[in-house]
Amino acid sequence: MAVSAPIGIDALLERVRSAYTRIDPAQAHAAFRAGDALLVDIRYQALRERDGLIPGALVVERNELEWRLDPQGSHRAPEATSHDLRVVVICNEGYASSLAAASLHALGLHRATDLTGGFQAWKAAGLPVI
């Protein structure tokens, strides 16, 4: 098996992001309010405690994401009802969420995306935080 040359994280992010359309905070908020998207906060606990939570977002730490959102998985969250579910992954600044969204695509969640700028962009846009 041939081994590919290393590409670096910036190139990897560019590659995975080219496979789907990212959304900004206003788009994510509108989709959530319309019932067309599940917001999934993958930030670790210290960041959630420091900065707050998005009301209604499902909190799933990154290391559990695939197990909790796989509609066929035995450890899935009740919200993980279908591969057609539109999932918006939210990390702190919009980097880890891109890799997480790509992983969800690999599981067949073809509508998965992530929030450009992450939670910090959501908060800066003045959107709800508790």
CB 28 within 8 A of CB 46: no
**Closest Cα to residue 114, out of 11, 9, 43, 10?**
43
Per the listing, tokens 């962009």 go with 121
Model pLDDT for residues 83-116, shown as the tens digit of each residue? 999 999 999 999 999 999 999 999 999 999 999 9
Read off the pTM. 0.91
Model pLDDT for residues 27-61, shown as the tens digit of each residue? 999 999 999 999 999 999 999 999 999 999 999 99
Give the CA angle between residues 24, 20, 58 to the nearest 5°: 60
